[in-house]
Amino acid sequence: MTQPSKNGENAVDMLAVARIAQGVDIAGFAGPDAVKLVAPAKVNLFLDIGAKRADGYHEAVSIMHALMLHDVLRMKLAPGRGEGLSVDLSCVAREGLAMLDVPVESNIVAKAVRLLAEKLERTADETVVACLEKHIPAEAGLGGGSSDAAAALLGAAHLWGVPADDPRIEEAARSLGADVAFFLHGGCACFTGVGDAFDHALAPMNGNVVLVKPEGGVSTAAAYRAFDEHPTANSEADREAALEAQRAADVPLRNNLVPVSEHLLPALVDIRLWASERVDVQRVLMSGSGSAVFMQCATFADAGRVAAEARMRAGGRVLPCSARRVRPWCRTAEISAARCIREI
């Protein structure tokens, strides 16, 4: 915290102070026994939810594309507590996001670590220490929790000396949620089944998007309940075009959850109409079940202008600043071929 200054007095290490204030002990995750992972966000270029199956899940065709926007997960092993596997997880909110109010055992990162240990039949007395930096907002349809889970699976596998291509990792991913497996692949990919079965990869595209999340969110469960009551369908022509597309740029932007999510959160209608009228927005679509809307722009300058005006529409406040009440959130992001990766 202090270091000698030029005049011999002890000076305060302001960078260390800032890191402690932010709740991230970087030094605690340094060295060869720790791992840092990047967990990217995603948008759905195409989402076609089908009929509800007997097991309660819905048939789905989902084409997802990774973004440069990402969470950061740091992990390391520590001695056990005499009770088998323990997970010591701390979370830090960035981008002005609200703090996560979820018990450790209920957090999907802890669930992922425990599930993989179960799949591997690992019974060692040890503690997995993890720190999650959240940059991706919740209830946005951007896959933040799913990506964090995929990163946790890869991080735990690395700490335990398990190859990243071990089939038990993807098996665990599919058990955790429909989108989790995508983040093991990254880039742009089509998933079928209930949205958890890899079908094929598409050539990703480079570009700029603006992400706008209105105040409030849409829970996935609420969106699917509303969909079951008032189902809508994408056209068969769009579905065939999406399944046949080999490039992300050729995928028709469609999402048949939009009507129900817009009914649950009317602010989504205003955002869509506002974006649709702009000449600097090429295409616009809500991602997943919402509530984030992404706007594809031709240039970075266009994206910056759209983001600036979206901020003005939100009363000049872009990032959430309350621990409980999330204000409108907006930022630019790059479409990328990212996946959950371990930083070297």
Active site residues: 42, 179
Element (H, E) at 115: helix 108-120
Q: Which pair of structure tokens corresponds to residue 256?
A: 């048949």
How far is it, in rounded angstroms, from Cα 334 to Cα 20?
30
Q: Which residues pair with 72 in a beta bridge?
A: 38, 133
Q: Is 26 helix (H, G, I), strand (E, B) or coil?
A: helix
16 contact partners, CB below 8 Å, separation of at least 6: 1
CA 182 to chain centre: 11
> Cβ atoms within 10 A of the Cβ of 67, count?
23
| Helical ranges in 160-299 per DSSP H | 167-176, 182-185, 220-229, 236-244, 258-264, 267-276
291: cis peptide before it, omega within 30°? yes
* Residue found under tokens 């949205």: 195
Answer yes or no: are the C-beta atoms of 260 and 225 closer than 8 Å.
Answer: no
From 73, 152, 75, 164, select the one nearest 112 (Cα to Cα).
152
Residues in the chain, total: 344
* Residue found under tokens 């009507």: 259
